Amino acid sequence: MAILVNGASSVLIQGITGKQGSFHFRQMRAFGTNIVAGVAPGKGGSRFEDIPLYETVQEACEHHTIDATVLFIPAAFCKDAALEAIEAGIKVIVIITEHIPVQDELIIVNRAKLKEAVIIGPNTFGMASWKCKLGILPNVAFSPGPVGVVARSGTLTYEIVGSLTNVGIGQTSVIGLGGDRVPGSSFVDMLKRFEVDPDTKCVVLVGEIGGNAEEEAAEFIKTMSKPVVAYLAGKSAPPGKRMGHAGAIIERGKGTYEGKVKALTAAGAQVATFPYEVVEKVQTLLGHA
Amino acid sequence: MKCFEYMGKEIFARFGIPVPQGRMVLKPEDAATVAAEIGKPVVIKSQVLSGKRGKAGGIKFADTPEAAAQAAAEVLSMTVQGLPVQRILVEEKLKIDAELYVAITIDGAAKAPVVIASAKGGMDIEEQDEADIVKTHLDVFLGLPAFLAKDLARKIGLRGNLAKEFSDILSKMYCILNHKDAELVEINPLVISGDHLIAADAKLTIDDSALYRQKDIPFVDEDMTEVEKMAKAAGVGSFVELGGDIAIMANGAGITMGTLDMVQLFGGQPANFMDAGGGTGVEGTAKALRILLAQNPKVILINIFGGITRCDDVANALAQVKQNIGIPVPVVVRMVGTNEEAGVRILKEVGIDAYRDMKTAAQMAVALAKRGEGA
């Protein structure tokens, strides 16, 4: 029914007692997520509602088998919190926090790669699978079904997933890669998982202008057996923050709306011009029309 | 945050990268003083956050302090790429034998810093042949070890003292990237002058997310419009002025772009890009609304899909602004997601209807803007 996690996964929340952490703890639990522990320095040994709290991730891992952790940690402390989770051996780490300094992100994602942990984010809505939501996407948007969704931007994904749900098309997993310069996971990482997931029949890719993640995805889509529908935001938007010469040299004309559409179309993906067209295309592919 | 060249050079000098002798000044007479101190022909460089200054006439040469004052007066009265010149850098004119290019930046796709170097620096580096550019990704845990810096010098064809100085400069650039939270450290051109290298330019971009721990670097906001500065000061996630008449606020960069795309499809002109950010509360949303109003739009379009952002917070802010300062133009709201019912109820109380569907809301905003034109 899903990639990375499912209803049987045991979940830790780092920063569970904070404003965002406590609000989304309740939302996640209402979704069905099996939350087994929380980390809240200074409050170890007590409980938050009925959830046991620990001083450190290591301590939580000594008392529970943890499959995944979600971080609701302020940007300045996120590097340490993420490294703590990686070193404790947790394999799925969801970092919701935005505005993490890019140097900190580099350390986090490279350390995770070394320890074979999957990072979702930073600056992401997280992910949802069958009975397991790790993050902040609204519960009402998601429903179980055959479509895998992987996205760079959050609210646009709610838009598309919500529309799919409204017409009765559910999802295996919905993954938010995050909007930062150095995301922990790429489109290709997730497309590989959807390709081998027996329940995923078709994949929706939500991209945007800038960077070359969509161009890389296009290369992998060429090899996929499952159909892919893509939507790219930013057709009319001003180009994002450009980095001058060096950025231009790395990208060499990649990153434009037209270039991405061309790469994806050539790879066999169907590209929707507007969010609501994604639903029409998926309906046709699944024979729901 | 982009730094002015003179700021970049100050930081370079602090880290031991050779830069020309010189100083930033604000007035022509100070340019003469600096030129006299240097006692050699000087170059007067406009300090604006834009490339292609040379081509735009923003760089002039002078042989005497009097000529420096005159050149400075000319440059200070110019605009370069639409930006008025308020500061100039007066520095010694270098003897240039050749120009190199070198930069370190972050390659997000590769999740690594990357060094880019070329023996052919100067203008038009972007258009240069791929074969003439050396690119090497760095392991973030190893940094830039000396052996790698030496090998990069070799790869762009440097020998002897020049190779030694090049690898030394490269190591110091990496230190700046690391210690100053830079996203880009670039020298173009890195000048060969006799048997020495000297940084004739300095381009430094500091990671906005890390400014909190780089407090010794002065804040630069020169490439922003007045309204953009207001947005920055108010802590709005991301804001760019676009010049149309439909002011737009959405939560999330992707959905904001999607909203702009849709408004344009239906024939409307967005006044701005505003990603109010995730989790913005009542206070932040109210500030964001005031910024939209400052653009004097014909219509305001708000597109909220609540996740971490709560619809009731947005609705409360909207109600607050309407009651406190009044909203003189039509407001079209699309609102779904977290705490949607409460949000819709609050809006109804102040006489604003909310749509559930983004397409209808965009169409309505465009229709209202067109009606505004006819009136």
User: Which domain CATH number covers A68?
Assistant: 3.40.50.720
pLDDT tens string B14-49: 999 999 999 999 999 999 999 999 999 999 999 998
Closest by CA position to A31, among listed A97, A150, A98, A125: A125
Of A22-36, A160-174, B283-297, the poorest mean pLDDT is in B283-297
Residue A266 has pLDDT above 50, yes or no: yes
pLDDT value at residue B255: 85
Residue B142 has pLDDT above 80, yes or no: yes
Q: Are residues A214 and A256 in the same domain?
A: yes
Give me the domain span that covers residue A144: 138-286
Contact B271/B241 with Cβ under 8 angstroms? yes
pLDDT value at residue B371: 86
pLDDT value at residue B121: 87
Average pLDDT over residues B177-195: 96
CATH no. of B98-213:
3.30.470.20
- CB proximity B73 to A under 8 Å: no
pLDDT tens string B246-271: 999 998 778 888 899 899 989 999 99
HEC secondary structure over A191-235:
HHHHHHCCCCCEEEEEEECCCCHHHHHHHHHCCCCCCEEEEEECC
Q: Are residues A143 and A272 in the same domain?
A: yes
Average pLDDT over residues A277-288: 92
Does the residue A131 lie in any domain?
A: no
Q: Give chain A's mean pLDDT.
A: 92
Residue B178 has pLDDT above 70, yes or no: yes
What band does A47 get if pLDDT is binned at 50, 70 and 90? very high
Q: Are residues A87 and A170 in the same domain?
A: no
Structure tokens at A42: 């200074």
Q: Are residues A72 and A192 in the same domain?
A: no
Count of pairs with CB atoms under 8 A, one residue in A, one in B? 183
Q: DSSP character for B270?
A: B
Closest by CA position to B143, among listed B108, B178, B101: B178
Q: Give chain A's domain count.
A: 2
What band does B56 get if pLDDT is binned at 50, 70 and 90? confident
Does the residue A47 lie in any domain?
A: yes
Residue A159 has pLDDT above 50, yes or no: yes
Q: DSSP of B223-256, one letter per residue?
A: TS-HHHHHHHHTT-SEEEE---SEEEEESSHHHH
Say which CATH superfamily domain B21-92 falls into.
ATP-grasp fold, A domain (3.30.1490.20)
Contact B249/B276 with Cβ under 8 angstroms? yes
- Chain B CB contacts of A237 under 8 Å are 256-257, 260-261, 273
- The pLDDT > 90 percentage for chain A reads 78
Residue B55 has pLDDT above 50, yes or no: yes
Q: For testing the chain A interface, which of B238, B305, B360 should be mutated: the one with the most A CBs within 10 Å?
A: B305
Q: Are residues A109 and A212 in the same domain?
A: no
pLDDT value at residue A94: 98
Helix (H, G, I), strand (E, B), or coil: what is residue B139?
coil
Q: Are residues A40 and A164 in the same domain?
A: no
Beta bridge partners of B83: B80
How far apart are alpha carbons B370 and B236 in whole angstroms?
A: 28
pLDDT value at residue A154: 81
Closest by CA position to B166, among listed B133, B192, B134: B192
What band does B234 get if pLDDT is binned at 50, 70 and 90? confident
Classify domain B226-372 at the CATH class level: alpha beta
Q: Do B21-92 and B226-372 agree at the fold level?
A: no
Average pLDDT over residues B87-114: 95
Average pLDDT over residues B94-121: 94
- CB proximity B255 to A under 8 Å: yes
Question: Chain-centre distance of CA A79, in angstroms?
Answer: 18
Residue A84 has pLDDT above 90, yes or no: yes
Q: Are residues A264 and A190 in the same domain?
A: yes
* Model confidence, pTM: 0.88
Average pLDDT over residues A185-204: 97
State whether B261 and A274 contact (CB < 8 Å). yes
HEC secondary structure over chain A:
CCCCCCCCCCEEEECCCCHHHHHHHHHHHHHCCCEEEEECCCCCCCEECCEEEECCHHHHHHHCCCCEEEECCCHHHHHHHHHHHHHCCCCEEEECCCCCCHHHHHHHHHHHHHCCCEEECCCCCEEEECCEEEECCCHHHCCEEEEEEEECCHHHHHHHHHHHHHCCCCEEEEEECCCCCCCCCCHHHHHHHHHHCCCCCEEEEEEECCCCHHHHHHHHHCCCCCCEEEEEECCCCCCCCCCCHHHHHHHCCCCCHHHHHHHHHHCCCEEECCHHHHHHHHHHHHCCC
Average pLDDT over residues A264-279: 94
- The pLDDT > 70 percentage for chain B reads 98
Residue B375 has pLDDT above 50, yes or no: no
Does the residue A98 lie in any domain?
A: yes
* Domain chopping of chain B, boundaries: 21-92, 98-213, 226-372
Say if residue A239 is preceded by a cis peptide, omega within 30 of 0.
no
Among A65, A92, A120, the domain boundary falls at A120
Q: For testing the chain A interface, which of B207, B308, B339 should be mutated: the one with the most A CBs within 10 Å?
A: B308
Residue A241 has pLDDT above 70, yes or no: no
What band does A260 get if pLDDT is binned at 50, 70 and 90? very high
- Chain B CB contacts of A246 under 8 Å are 103-105, 114, 116, 184, 186
pLDDT value at residue A243: 47
Known binding residue B308? Answer is yes
Residue B156 has pLDDT above 90, yes or no: yes
Residue B92 has pLDDT above 60, yes or no: yes
Between B2 and B238, the more confident residue is: B2
What band does A158 get if pLDDT is binned at 50, 70 and 90? confident
Average pLDDT over residues B308-314: 86
Does the residue A3 lie in any domain?
A: no
Question: Chain-centre distance of CA B369, in angstroms?
Answer: 31
Residue A124 has pLDDT above 80, yes or no: yes
Does the residue A86 lie in any domain?
A: yes
Q: Are residues A193 and A266 in the same domain?
A: yes
pLDDT value at residue B357: 87
List, as residue ranges, the binding site of A for substrate: 158
Known binding residue B339? Answer is no
Contact B129/B224 with Cβ under 8 angstroms? no
- CB proximity B254 to A under 8 Å: yes
Residue B348: what residue type? K
Q: Which of residues 193-252 of B touch A (CB under 8 A)?
A: 203, 205, 207-210, 212-213, 240, 242, 250-252
What band does A26 get if pLDDT is binned at 50, 70 and 90? very high
Q: What is the CATH number of the domain that holds A164?
A: 3.40.50.261
Does the residue A188 lie in any domain?
A: yes
Does the residue A130 lie in any domain?
A: no
Instruction: Give the active site residues of B.
Output: 101, 186
Average pLDDT over residues A176-191: 93
Q: Are residues A71 and A114 in the same domain?
A: yes
Of A48-57, B81-90, B153-162, the poorest mean pLDDT is in B81-90
pLDDT value at residue A252: 66
Q: Give chain B's mean pLDDT.
A: 91
pLDDT value at residue A198: 96
